[in-house]
């Protein structure tokens, strides 16, 4: 499937009253310090693991219009058990053309070119890769590259996978706070450089050295990555988010990948491209050198 065939959504300026209160008012921003605290996220997580939280499941399915026919049928022990549900076999397939760049997850995708100084701009907020990665030497390696942001919302599948065969170079976890990843927060602060996040640096067979980063969000304190071995396979599950929407950020080096023009065009038009795990979003660049033996 090509990104040109996929749906787009406007990057909405409409948020519920609670979120608008938190980010658009002075009293709300004071309260925001409490709601973004890790202790609050931990308490919400405890409830979401409890049997009582199952009462939320039917309401959540209806309000987010989730098509449950895509998922394995089972009796859920908690809301988090439901939230991290698995799809039926064959519902998230990866392109058989190995030079195709697949999406690592479901989500709403925007694409950005990284400048020579390792900076890029999202919704008026300027980011540097050093602020994102907390590693200047690594950030410099991705100057003039590509940054992809996959924003997961409650209706998405909250498991994610590796995009290619490859080897693990390093892994890092960065403690932070937990803002919502909705566009309203991106207009207020540098969310992706402030939120709790963890990433893996990897050498991939077809797309070179890349970074895959998971970013926590408001009330989503747990990024549940599987234990890493030295190598991984295309389509192999990397981990999952528990409760709520969150974000995956991917970084590629200069001339490693060519992203579908429609995705860039959608981003310029203030639209997100709706993608599913495994669908084609680009391909190996014709200018890419041989990265991996």
Choose between 66 and 176: higher pLDDT: 66
pLDDT digit string, tens, across residues 235-270 = 999 999 887 658 899 999 999 999 999 999 999 998
Specify the pTM: 0.83
d(CA 244, CA 216): 9
d(CA 168, CA 176): 24
Residue 251 pLDDT: 96
Tell me what the mean pLDDT of segment 140-153 comes to: 93
Q: What is the dihedral of CA 153, 40, 62, 157, to 10 degrees?
A: 40
Confidence of residue 14 (pLDDT cuts 50, 70, 90): very low
pLDDT digit string, tens, across residues 48-103 = 899 999 999 999 999 889 999 999 999 999 999 999 999 999 999 998 999 999 99
Catalytic residue list contains 261:
no
| Cα 238-227-216 angle, rounded to 5 deg | 55
Determine which one of 41, 53, 118, 246 is catalytic.
Answer: 246
Share of the chain above pLDDT 70, in %: 73
Q: Which residues pair with 126 in a beta bridge?
A: 121
**Matching residue, tokens 């402030």:** 194
Say if residue 11's pLDDT is above 50: no
The mean pLDDT of the chain is 81
Determine which one of 106, 156, 164, 260 is catalytic.
Answer: 106
**Matching residue, tokens 């974000």:** 247
Helix (H) or strand (E) holding 280: strand 280-284
DSSP 133-172: HS-HHHHHTTTT-EEEEEE--TTS--EEE-SSSEEEEEEE
Catalytic residue list contains 140:
no
User: Contact 275/3 with Cβ under 8 angstroms?
Assistant: yes
């Amino acid at each position: 499937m090509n990104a040109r065939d996929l749906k787009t959504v406007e990057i909405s300026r409409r948020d519920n009253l609670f979120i608008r209160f938190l980010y658009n008012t002075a009293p709300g921003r004071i309260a925001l310090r409490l709601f973004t605290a890790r202790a609050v996220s931990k308490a919400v997580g405890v409830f979401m693991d409890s049997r009582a939280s199952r009462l939320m499941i039917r309401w959540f399915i209806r309000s987010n219009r989730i098509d449950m026919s895509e998922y394995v049928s089972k009796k859920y022990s908690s809301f988090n058990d439901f939230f991290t549900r698995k799809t039926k076999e064959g519902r998230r397939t990866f392109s058989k053309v190995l030079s195709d760049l697949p999406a690592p997850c479901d989500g709403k995708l925007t694409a950005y070119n990284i400048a020579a100084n390792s900076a890029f701009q999202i919704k008026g907020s300027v980011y540097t890769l050093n602020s994102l990665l907390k590693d200047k030497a690594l950030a410099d390696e991705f100057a003039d590259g590509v940054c992809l942001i996959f924003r997961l919302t409650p209706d998405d599948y909250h498991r994610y996978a590796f995009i290619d065969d490859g080897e693990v170079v390093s892994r890092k976890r960065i403690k932070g706070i937990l803002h919502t990843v909705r566009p309203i927060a991106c207009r207020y602060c540098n969310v992706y450089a402030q939120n709790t996040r963890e990433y893996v640096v990897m050498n991939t067979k077809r797309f070179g050295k890349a970074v895959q980063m998971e970013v926590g969000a408001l009330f989503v304190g747990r990024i549940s990555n599987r234990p890493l071995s030295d190598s991984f396979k295309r389509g192999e599950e990397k981990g999952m988010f528990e409760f709520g929407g969150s974000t995956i950020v991917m970084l590629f080096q200069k001339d490693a990948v060519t992203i579908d023009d429609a995705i860039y065009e959608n981003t310029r038009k203030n639209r997100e491209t709706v993608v599913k795990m495994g669908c084609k979003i680009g391909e190996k660049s014709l200018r890419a050198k041989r990265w991996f033996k």
